[in-house]
Amino acid sequence: MAWKKIIPAKRTENIKYAIRDIVVLAKEVEKTGKEMLWLNIGDPNIYDFVTPPQVIDDTVKAMRDNQNGYAPSNGIDEAVNAIRLDAKSKGFKNIKEIFVTTGASEAIDIALTALLNAGDNFLLPAPTYPLYDAIINKLGAEPRHYFLDEENNWEPDLKDLESKIDENTKGVLIINPNNPTGTNYSKESLKGVIELAKKYGLLLFADEIYDKLLFDENDKHISMATIDTNAPIITFNGLSKSHVVPGFRIGWGIVTGKDELISDYNEGMQKFVRARLSANKPEQFAIKNALLTPQPHIREMLNKLKKRGEITYNRINAIDGLSLVKTSGAFYAFIKIDLDIDDFTFCKRLINEYGVVTVPGSGFGQKPNTKHFRVVFLPNEEILNRAYDKIEEFVKKLKEEGK
Ligand SMILES: Cc1ncc(COP(=O)(O)O)c(C=O)c1O
């Protein structure tokens, strides 16, 4: 008897993750000895951002104190209480549940899994963070995209959003501040989305993982859950970005809204929360200080990011054929390509010919007949300027080719 080949499930055919897929190509080019400039992945630790010592100390202390067993499924009390206090200080009121997870990613997976049946659809922004598409596809449901409006600072296009809702639509996602556009949404837009969710009975997801990363001190982030305390909302957040620990895998979900609207669904989610036992335990001991004591590293981080965002904005807009809407937060720029070349070929050639690694806009979703690429501006100014010199040279070459 011979062994039989193992066949992956059909559902794997729809799973794409452009951010990591492009790395496979870049690694091949790197092997040829070419100098590579990596502007493709949102991991601050790869660049000149370091984890604040307190976060490490609290985790190491927990490990030495033998806090290495399973945690309660929802998270250790001191972490859950700190998340609650932090949320209340932002104006959250009707908090029904908090659950600590293995990165915000796991909270997103649980929240979608407890919501969607095959055949349902869920509204995602285009462009969006691709994890949502991957999970919805895994569930046999449909990721359905509404457009963010590049002509209006990438705010949600509410008309388009409403036109995409049907009787199988279960919920709508807002990523604010946004990855990949860096937009901090206006209250008006957030209210508009809430009104539509109310009109059609939809659950709201508010991914606010970048809420602490707004460059301008006068720029305020408004949490979706503070606008309408009755609205059923799951807010996602975590330590990965603001506390420079994406490898800790610590995130959480906050359930808010009127009890009768959210309680059955919340109980469904909690079944999954309990079934997977718990999130990483020692790292949860870092949450209390991270959220409730002053965090001077955040301002330092923002000063660097603000400068790097400005360089990106100025350098890109000076290149004929590319344009960029000003970003307010996070560390991404979603750059428009006005050239006769598709975004995948643009990124592939940029890697092959210049060693600059960016991600094609199609990996995030974009309006038909528009093309973009995403840059992560975490690298230092010298690297960024070198990368933008190369991008400038590349675009000049494309123009000479008649593109
Ligand atoms: C919008 C958004 N949500 C969620 C995540 C995942 O966060 P975590 O590291 O907490 O799983 C990311 C990571 O890049 C992100 O950009």
Residue 353 has pLDDT above 90, yes or no: yes
| Fold (topology level) of 10-50+296-400 | Aspartate Aminotransferase, domain 1 (3.90.1150)
Any ligand 1 atom below 6 A from CB of 182: no
Distance of alpha carbon 373 from alpha carbon 205, whole angstroms: 25
Average pLDDT over residues 130-148: 95
What is the token pair recorded at 202?
């939809």
Any ligand 1 atom below 6 A from CB of 105: yes
Residues found in the chain: 403
Counting from 1 in the atom list of ligand 1, the atom nearest the Cα of 102 is 11
Regarding pTM above 0.85, the answer is yes
In tens, the pLDDT along 163-187 reads 999 999 999 999 999 999 999 999 9
Domain ranges of the chain: 10-50+296-400, 53-292
CA of 395 to the centre of ligand 1 (A): 31
pLDDT at res. 225: 97
Note whether 194 and 231 are within 8 A (CB): yes
In tens, the pLDDT along 218-241 reads 999 999 999 999 999 999 999 999
Any ligand 1 atom below 6 A from CB of 125: no
What is the token pair recorded at 389?
């010199």
Residue 21 has pLDDT above 80, yes or no: no
Which sign, positive or negative, has the C-alpha torsion 148, 385, 23, 253? negative
Nearest CA to ligand 1 atom 7: 104
Residue 16 has pLDDT above 80, yes or no: no
392 closest CA partner among 284, 315, 339, 336: 315
52 closest CA partner among 397, 293, 329: 293
Q: Where are the beta strands (DSSP E) in 183-261?
A: 203-207, 233-238, 250-256
CA of 287 to the centre of ligand 1 (A): 17
In tens, the pLDDT along 288-332 reads 999 999 999 999 999 999 999 999 999 999 999 999 999 999 999
Average pLDDT over residues 350-357: 96
In tens, the pLDDT along 236-253 reads 999 999 999 999 999 999
In the block, residue with structure tokens 């937060």: 329
Any ligand 1 atom below 6 A from CB of 309: no
Rounded to the nearest integer, the mean pLDDT of the chain is 96
Counting from 1 in the atom list of ligand 1, the atom nearest the Cα of 251 is 10
In tens, the pLDDT along 190-199 reads 999 999 999 9
Note whether 319 and 395 are within 8 A (CB): yes
What is the token pair recorded at 167?
């009787």
Nearest CA to ligand 1 atom 14: 42
DSSP strand pairing (332-337 vs 372-376): antiparallel
Any ligand 1 atom below 6 A from CB of 103: yes
Residue 12 has pLDDT above 90, yes or no: no
Fold match flag (10-50+296-400 vs 53-292): no
Instruction: Report DSSP state, residue 6.
Output: P
Average pLDDT over residues 259-282: 98
pLDDT band at 10 (very low <50, low <70, confident <90, very high): confident
What is the token pair recorded at 291?
């959220």
CA of 163 to the centre of ligand 1 (A): 28
- For residues 66, 70, 75, 81, the Cα torsion angle rounded to the nearest 10 degrees is -30
Q: Which residues pair with 205 in a beta bridge?
A: 173, 234
What is the token pair recorded at 136?
């919805």
Distance of alpha carbon 57 from alpha carbon 64, whole angstroms: 10
pLDDT at res. 322: 98
The CATH number of 53-292 is: 3.40.640.10
Residue 58 has pLDDT above 90, yes or no: yes
